[in-house]
Amino acid sequence: MAKHEALLPHMQEIADLDAVLGLLSWDEETYAPAGARAGRGLQTATLEGLKHQRLTRPELGDLIEAALADPSVTGTDRVMVERFRRTRSLATRVPEALVKALAEARSLAMAAWGKAKNSDDFKAFGPHLERVVSLTRQRAEALGSPTDELYDALLDEYEPGTTAATLRPVFAELRGALVPIVEAIAGAPRPDTSFLEQRFSSEAQWQFTLRLLEDLGFDMQHGRQDRSAHPFTGSVGQKDVRVTTRIDEENPISAIFSTIHECGHGLYEQGFAPEHHRTPLGVAPSMGIHEGQSRLWENQVGRSRAFWQRYLPMMKTYFPGTLDGVDLDTFYRAVNVVEPSLIRTEADEVTYNLHILLRFELEQALLTGDLQVDDLPGVWRERMQRDLGIQSEGDTEGCLQDIHWAWGAIGYFPTYTLGNLYAAQIMATFEAADPNVWADVAAGRFAPLLAWLREKIHRRGYTAWAGDIMADAVGAPLQVAPLVRYLKGKFGPLYGLSL
């Protein structure tokens, strides 16, 4: 038996613990009663502690090093062992007590966040956020930053090998390209969206979004959709992928694009190679690539004219009488309206990344202590005014809108913008490879695009670093230009502008 085979039961055990933790998290955000939060936090802390104990056993380290010393362990087997060593190395740096404390604090913070968001009461959430930030800071210190910036220790978990210093020039280039586009569009006539300002049955929205999931290729035999306050995707193993959406009877667009976005994540989770299941290779190499999948389906596909050529007539059958007289071009312009908005998840493609750049700055300041939690609401409003020219009256549409910081996911937000950049590169490459792509989309044929993504990205899992997988798929490193070209090429004609 090759030395790496002795590691497989250990890898599978960790994967199973992650799956159970994922199930608990999914239940907490969907069906768990409000009074179960405290107990759920303790359960999560126990499982996180158990996982930490398993990963940090000295004998596991010995098995890993023995496998890497075996010259017969090559190719993807060797990569698998190296990935497991990275996972164990990160775990050994963080004390078990901190792991458990953070797990419990996250659970309580997410419960407090939900209540605070509903009641617009940041003060009730503030102490929970303070504790999560403090524990996350301790965790970053324990992990150790590869640079002199503490933030990089956390960013490396979501986007391995990436640092804040490498992102800043990319984000600066993007901001420099976006601001003139936003300013030019601001002076153009606004598309008509009045026909969306009416009641759309929640049950009809639910059925329509289920239809979209199945049409796009999401396997409902190995997945499901539910409702949550903040849409998300959770994997309980490759054969059990859960997505959620948020339904608002006065805003059908929210549910539609939330579902398509999460479907992109779900398709990725369902697309890992079966032989990598329950191993360190059966995951995404970075959250930027993961977000690239969701943003591609949501924006490049879901907000395309070809997509609504297919689905506007169908939507009219789900909502009889509500969209009578609305033609394709009117609807297409409406779902692509560009204007500064308070809510990130409802932001248009042009202004969306400005929301991310704001969060990128603020979460670094929270981590270092340059920004105190009590000051977050006021600073948030100031930055929104600076970057987007608007600000919320309360905090529900301000610093309480996202669950990420309650979850302790400091360092995650940049992956959304990386995802947008990746998505633009991916779609430009696929368009060049398949000139029939938009005819297929207009006919509801998504299999060619999904098959290409399966081959180039999904099935590769974590067999290579994110940058290498992307370079192989699109033939170039991360670039800003493809996204800018896409935005100018789409929104210039939409608004009658030469961008």
Per-residue pLDDT tens over the stretch 140-189 = 999 999 999 999 999 999 999 999 999 999 999 999 999 999 999 999 99
Q: Quick one: average pLDDT of 227-235?
A: 93
Q: Which residue reads 């990205």 in tokens?
A: 457
pLDDT score recorded for residue 248: 95
pLDDT at 463 > cutoff 90: yes
pLDDT at 406 > cutoff 70: yes
pLDDT at 133 > cutoff 90: yes
Average pLDDT, the chain: 96
pLDDT digits (tens, 9 = 90+) for 336-350: 999 999 999 889 999
pLDDT digits (tens, 9 = 90+) for 253-262: 999 999 999 9
Burial (CB < 10 A; 0-12, 13-18, 19+), residue 471, is middle
pLDDT digits (tens, 9 = 90+) for 76-93: 999 999 999 999 999 999
pLDDT score recorded for residue 201: 98
pLDDT score recorded for residue 461: 98
pLDDT score recorded for residue 3: 82
pLDDT digits (tens, 9 = 90+) for 29-51: 999 998 888 888 899 999 999 99
pLDDT score recorded for residue 238: 76
In this prediction, residue 230 has a pLDDT band, given cuts at 50, 70 and 90, of confident
Q: What percent of the chain is modeled with pLDDT above 70?
A: 100
pLDDT score recorded for residue 34: 85
Q: Which of 48, 262, 298, 349 is catalytic?
A: 262
Q: Quick one: average pLDDT of 395-407?
A: 96
Task: State the Rg of the chain over Cα.
Answer: 23
Q: Is 262 a catalytic residue?
A: yes
Q: Looking at domain 164-495, which of 1.10.1370.30, 1.20.1260.10, 3.40.50.1820, 1.10.357.10 is its CATH number?
A: 1.10.1370.30
Q: Domain map of the chain by residue range? A: 3-118, 164-495
pLDDT score recorded for residue 38: 83
Q: Quick one: average pLDDT of 371-387?
A: 97
d(CA 161, CA 211): 39
pLDDT digits (tens, 9 = 90+) for 282-341: 999 999 999 999 999 999 999 999 999 999 999 999 999 999 999 999 999 999 999 999
Burial (CB < 10 A; 0-12, 13-18, 19+), residue 493, is exposed
pLDDT at 1 > cutoff 70: no
